[in-house]
Every structure is written in C-alpha cells, then in structure tokens.
Amino acid sequence: MAAETDATALELPIIGLTTVTADDLVPAIVLLPLFRQRWLFLGAAGALVVMFTVMNGGQPAGLVPFIAFTALFQGFMFLGPRYLARRSIATMSSHIVRYRLDPDEIAISNAGTTVTRRWDVLEQFVETGGAFLIWVGPSAIQIVAKRAFAPHELAWLRAQLASHAGRRTASRRTQARWVRMGLLWAALVVVFLLVWQLMQR
C-alpha cells in the first residue's frame, strides 16, 4: 500500500541512467553461490590440514602439495571476484546501463540486451551502500546502481523490492541451501578419506 501511495507522487515510469564500473560488479560476484561459501571452504581446508597433521604424527611435510593447492584455491576465492569484475568490464561493448521502473516490472538494459522482470517474480534482493543487488534467477544477479536515481525514486524502488521480491521463493531457497551444505560436507568427508588413504601408502 505504501508503495502504491508513493507511486502517485512520482512520474512513472522512472528512468535511470548510469555507467557501470568494476566496483559495481564485485559485490554481485561475491554473492554468487561459489564465492558465497568461501569462508566455509577456508575453515574446512584449515580443519583438514590440522587433522592430516595430527594423524600423520605431527609431520606436516607430506601436506605440502595439499597446502599449496589449498592456498591457490583460496587465493582465487578471495581475489577472484575483483579479477572477474575487471574482465567483465573489459569485455563489455558498452558500460552505459539504463533502468526503467514502473508499478508492474523492472527493466535493465545494457549493450543492446534488456532484462525485464515483474516485481513479484524476483528471487530476492540485497541492498549495499551503492546499489541494489537483485536476483532475477537462482544464480543471476542484476545490479541497480543507486546513483542513477533521485532520493525519492530510491525510496519507491526500495518499497517495491521490500513488498514483492522473494515472497514466492523463500522456503525453496532455504531447502536448497541445506541441500547444498549437506552435499558440500559429504564431499569434504570423501576428500579427507581419499587423501588419508593416499598418505598411508
């Protein structure tokens, strides 16, 4: 109701225009499923190193290959988002992004491609200091830069997202998250057992 009341005081549709940068892309990449688990991977890797060392009689020499691989993987997990953001910007034919907002849908256009979604089918959203990160699919995130809009337009956009985004998918996302966590820990256990068997030969 609040969103509808605010909409009458605005000139709709709302049009926003800005230039996207690597700094805009990094927060979205960090929230992708792979990078979102990076602290879990780091903790699991540390736990495996400790367990291997203890089970190997306190001799860490045989763990050098594992530690080297883990260090490289963790380096990618923490530095990768910035690298991928810069690569994405470098390959874009146009850095200009156009936003169109109305009471029914949001449209985001860049380099001749337009993504249009109704508000009520958006998966979820996260607000950062400079943008709204909007899930238009399970692993597809669109970035809406705040600098493209006036303060009263941002207030309307925030109300629209809060009123609609994620209503249909909250329970499904929770179930999927627990399934992914279970599969991840099962994979870690399998890796631990395989590496331990190799170390015993």
Burial 74-87 (b: 16+ CB within 10 A, else e): eeebeebbeebbee
Q: In the prediction, which pLDDT does 199 show?
A: 57
Q: In the prediction, which pLDDT does 34 show?
A: 80
Question: For residues 99 and 144, is the Cβ–Cβ distance under 8 A?
Answer: yes
| Tokens encoding 111 | 């380099």
pTM of the model: 0.69
User: Per-block average pLDDT, block size 10, for the chain (201 residues)?
Assistant: 50 94 92 82 76 68 73 88 93 93 95 92 90 87 94 94 70 58 68 62 58
